[in-house]
Amino acid sequence: MGLLSKLFGSKAESVADEPEREEHAVLLHLRYEANEDGFPIEEGVVEQYQDVEDRLEAAIAHAKVGELDGDEFGDGVCVVYTYGPDADLLWDAMRPVLEGQTWPAGSHAVKRYGNPGKDVRSERIDLAGSG
């Protein structure tokens, strides 16, 4: 081990010694009418949902509470992934954008309080009929 490594420790050691940072999430499950392949029947749904995502991304960035990490379309649902250190603050930034829409039955958000893969608390929020 070199002199600097003895004095300051190696990068691998310092990263390994850091406590795991807890990451909360708000996962949106936005329903749509799907064809046999699981993709939207109605024209413009993908563009409509991506427009909402753009506005969500701007709201989250403006509030400095996390990030929007993308989406997945399939089986009649678009799942939008957002992450940050506090699910409640993340939701507070997103809610005004989502309340301005009317969502199909079954659409909901899940606030996850903690890292995935662990037994963490979550809260489901129904979005259908809001707007």
Choosing among 3.10.105.10, 3.40.50.2300, 3.30.70.100, 3.40.50.300, the CATH entry for 22-126 is: 3.30.70.100
| Residue extents of the structural domains in the chain | 22-126
Q: What's the gap between Cα 42 and its chain centre? A: 25
Whole-number Å distance between alpha carbons of 75 and 2: 55
Query: Which pTM was predicted?
Result: 0.81
Tens digit of pLDDT for each residue in 77-131? Answer: 999 999 999 999 999 999 999 998 899 999 999 999 998 877 889 999 999 865 5
Tens digits of residue pLDDT in 16-55: 555 667 899 999 999 999 999 888 999 999 999 999 999 9
φ/ψ bin of 50: left (φ > 0), alpha (ψ from -120 to 50), beta (otherwise): alpha
